[in-house]
Amino acid sequence: MSKQNIELSKNKWKKEQIELKKKLNTTQKIDKSKIKRIGGVDISFIKGNDKDAVASFIVLNYPELDTIIYEKNQWITLDQPYIPGFLAFREAEPLYNLIYEFSQNDPKNIPEVILVDGNGILHPRGFGLASHLGVLLDNNGLNISTIGVGKKLFEMDGLKKSQVKPQFENLIKNNLKFLKLVGNSGTIHGAAVQSNPKITQPIFVSIGHNIDLDSSIDIVLSCCKFRVPEPIRQSDLRSRAFIRNYLQQQQQQQQQQQQQNTNQNTNQN
């Protein structure tokens, strides 16, 4: 995509984000005792290939997180380039399609909450992938709460890793679990969260849609056995395994074809 086309796309996408953001709900409190199922979505790539990928959606029982109720991994082709601040226009549609398909086939098991590998309102325009996905679902009759979970800090509104890191480290020394991320504008964009007592590297939690920040933090913490919350972790593990199995099958087929060619040449000689 040329620089001119990228700028045209960015201007168009900004307008779409502003329009969709009008429907964003960031104040809904969630009683986690009423959650029975929780979902996770992630997209994994083949190494060296930024277009062909596997979108993954899983549903776990909650709060136990020990049974996978549903799993689907699907090959996708991503037509849009990765542009910071516009990840949703690359990844939201395939993730939405997986969730919507499941809702039509098994509506009784649709999760009340979905954790998204990506930011929610921790975003320059307050409308990242988790928010975008949540509003898309809502627009199509699926009242699901979404939460953004990032592994790296999206630096914006004066939030810098160099400043957040020491503040967070000081906080966990005092046995506190999270640091709310307040930008220069005074806006609370999300929280740096210690997901496990043994892990000092934070994850970055933000509101997606149909939820407030305190509920988002509480639910994410309840899902963490390791650094990354289990719904996203399992989605990531399974999508990577799906790719690995595919590549192994491809390699085996190539080896078989090579062997067949060798045998044919031997017979001809």
At 200-251, the pLDDT tens digits run 999 999 999 999 999 999 999 999 999 999 999 999 999 999 999 999 998 8
Going by pLDDT thresholds of 50, 70 and 90, the confidence category of residue 256 is confident
Helix (H, G, I), strand (E, B) or coil at 262: helix
Residue 145 has pLDDT above 90, yes or no: yes
Degrees, nearest 5: CA angle 149-50-134: 35
Radius of gyration of the chain (CA): 21
Residue 118 DSSP one-character state:
B
Going by pLDDT thresholds of 50, 70 and 90, the confidence category of residue 176 is very high
Residue 143 is predicted with a pLDDT of: 96
Single pTM value for the model? 0.93
CB 206 within 8 A of CB 216: yes
Give the Cα separation of 65 and 118 in Å (integer): 21
Domains of the chain from N-terminus onward:
3-247 (3.30.2170.10)
Helix (H, G, I), strand (E, B) or coil at 36: coil
Per-residue pLDDT reduced to its tens digit, 85-104: 999 999 999 999 999 999 99
Is the pLDDT higher at 174 or at 25?
Answer: 25
Residue 257 is predicted with a pLDDT of: 84
Per-residue pLDDT reduced to its tens digit, 121-132: 999 999 999 999
Give the Cα separation of 167 and 205 in Å (integer): 16
DSSP 180-207: EEE-TTS-EEEEEE--STT--S-EEEEE
Q: Which of 52, 149, 126, 133 is nearest to 100 (CA)?
A: 133
Residue 1 is predicted with a pLDDT of: 66
Residue 68 is predicted with a pLDDT of: 98
Residue 146 DSSP one-character state:
E
Helix (H, G, I), strand (E, B) or coil at 145: strand
Q: Tell me how far apart the terminal alpha carbons of the chain are, to the nearest angstrom.
A: 51
Residue 138 is predicted with a pLDDT of: 98
The rounded percent of the chain whose pLDDT value lies above 70 is 97
Residue 4 is predicted with a pLDDT of: 81
